[in-house]
Structures are given as C-alpha cells and as structure tokens.
Amino acid sequence: MASEESIYFAYGSNLHPLRLQVRVPSARLLGVSVLPGHRMVFGKRGMDGSGKCTILPGVKAKDSVPGALFALRRDEINFLDAAEGPAYARKSAAFALNGSVLNGFYYEAREFALDQGLRPFDWYRDLVVAGARFHSLPEHYVLALASVATQQDENEERVARIMSLLARISGT
C-alpha cells in the first residue's frame, strides 16, 4: 500500500467496488475483513428519510460485521466524506487481512441520526446485498440482509440512477 493511501472498511452500500468507485475513483479492493465486537443495522436516518447502514456495539460476544477493505487515495477521502454526509463520523480501527493487521477507518452514524425504526429503500438494501454477494460474505449474513423489510423510493430519478448501477453490478 502506498503511503498516500488510507484503508477504508466498507460494510454497507459502498461494499461493492463499482458503487464505491462512483464515489471514490481510486478505490482499490484489498480483501475481506471483519470488525469484531460490533453489529450492522439499517438504523441511521438518511437525508431522504429512509434507513441506512451503521455500525453499533455488539450485544453478543460473537457479534462482528463482515465487510471489505479498500485502499483510497488520501486526497479523495473528502469525496467519500461528502457522500456519507455530516450524520456519519469516521472511526478508526485495526483490521486483519491475510495475516497482517491494517489500521483503517469506517463510518458510524452520529447519535443524533440513529433511528432503528426506519426501513431502507429496496434499492439500498439490494446494493448492500449485491456487495455482500460479490465478496462471498457468509451465506447466513447475506440471507439476513436480503430479508430486511424495505420501503419504496418515490424519487424516480434516484431509482433510475441506482437501478442502472445495479444492472452494471449484476453484469460483473
């Protein structure tokens, strides 16, 4: 890894490389890892009123969040910060990858943005599932993601844009 790169742990809608590269062109996949002692929920209130992914402390000893590590050029991290928005905070963590430990960061919803009563849009959940499948995350995890109740997005322009991306993803 080059010294001008940082390690990013993706676990939600940025999990698929094509999605992340729309936001951060330099994103380079390093491999699959986990964040132990945590769990992923669709419990962050998005600006559109739907549920988005966030990480919370685990409730069971075995809780962990599977995801993927990407190397990002440091001068492009601001692109990701802008896409994630002010309701997310960057958090530092150490991640295991191929016998090494890499220091990196992930995003976690700020307290004011937490709302576990929300449902994600169907396309958002599908982006997360597509990323999980791409990385061959554990099947029980993928099935749990796919079973999350969703809501329809009424913004036709956004739906069309994301459906185009999902079509590109399904072709990979």
Q: Tell me what pLDDT residue 172 has.
A: 62
- One-letter amino acid identity for 112? F
pLDDT of 143 higher than 90:
yes
Whole-angstrom distance, CA of residue 152 vs CA of residue 168: 21
The angle subtended at Cα 10 by Cα 8 and Cα 15, nearest 5°, is 135
Q: Indicate the number of domains in the chain.
A: 1
Whole-angstrom distance, CA of residue 89 vs CA of residue 84: 9
Whole-angstrom distance, CA of residue 17 vs CA of residue 131: 8
- One-letter amino acid identity for 104? G
Whole-angstrom distance, CA of residue 141 vs CA of residue 11: 12
Q: Tell me what pLDDT residue 111 has.
A: 97
State the CATH number of the domain containing residue 19.
Answer: 3.10.490.10
User: Each residue of 8-43: pLDDT tens digit?
Assistant: 999 999 999 999 999 999 999 999 999 999 999 999
pTM score, two decimals?
Answer: 0.95
Quickly state the pLDDT bin for 160 (edges 50, 70, 90): very high
Q: How many other CB atoms are there within 10 angstroms of residue 85's CB atom?
A: 14
- Structural domain span for residue 38: 5-170
